[in-house]
Amino acid sequence: MQIRIKFFMDYVCEWCYLGYGILKDLRKAYDFDLELYPIEIHPDIPENGMPMIWHVHNKKKWTDQLNQLGEPYGIHFINKETFSNTKNALILGQYAKTTGKMSDYTDCLWDSYMVKGMNISDKTAIYSIGHNAGFSDEQMNTAFEDPIYYAALERNQQYQHSFGTDQVPAFVINEKYIMIGAQSKDTWEQLFQKIKEEQS
């Protein structure tokens, strides 16, 4: 059974982190290719981020709900103070994709932001995360100085639009099925079974 999943996401998006974690859990039982397409969904966020409470008024309740959804998959959210600007995080993510380290970088990034509450608007924080993912300062300088990586983010967004959606998380499966939002494990398993039947 061949399954290829395109995953359109932003590191600021809690539902993207949840959806990614559910897919990682599914990997224990299913074989599929997962390709991440980072896009910037909130370019309007101030460069240094903004208080989370400006984005979600009752952030403790919001975080509790997310943790309830994530618990079956071992996914944890901290009650963050900052709603971060992810431009630099996404640029380095796009660079990571070209080096084969996208998965390692994404794991480090989301652990820092969603679990530990680090403000990933801060470039110093991004460099620290990049080091943890195996990048040198020279590599990260290249990512931030070369405009091709930011341009790639814009192309990712245009590519997503070609599938008729601008929401995240968005999953395009085998160029045929589109799922929006952090779908449950059961929903994914039903789709995988359907694809298996189609390919048999």
- Sign of the Cα pseudo-torsion (59, 60, 63, 68, in order): negative
Render pLDDT for 45-57 as a digit per residue (tens, 0 to 9).
999 999 999 999 9
Whole-number Cα distances in Å, 52 to 62, 83, 85, 123, 168 = 11, 5, 11, 19, 19
Q: Which domain holds residue 43?
A: 4-199
Report the percentage of the chain scoring pLDDT > 70. Answer: 100
pTM of the model: 0.95
Domain count across the chain? 1
- Say if CB 109 and CB 93 are below 8 A apart: yes
Render pLDDT for 77-110 as a digit per residue (tens, 0 to 9).
999 999 999 999 999 999 999 999 999 999 999 9
Residue range 31-49: average pLDDT?
A: 96
Quickly state the pLDDT bin for 1 (edges 50, 70, 90).
Answer: low
pLDDT of residue 200: 82
Res 199 pLDDT > 90:
no
Res 44 pLDDT > 80:
yes
CATH code of the domain in which 146 resides = 3.40.30.10
Residue range 24-45: average pLDDT?
A: 96
pLDDT of residue 82: 97
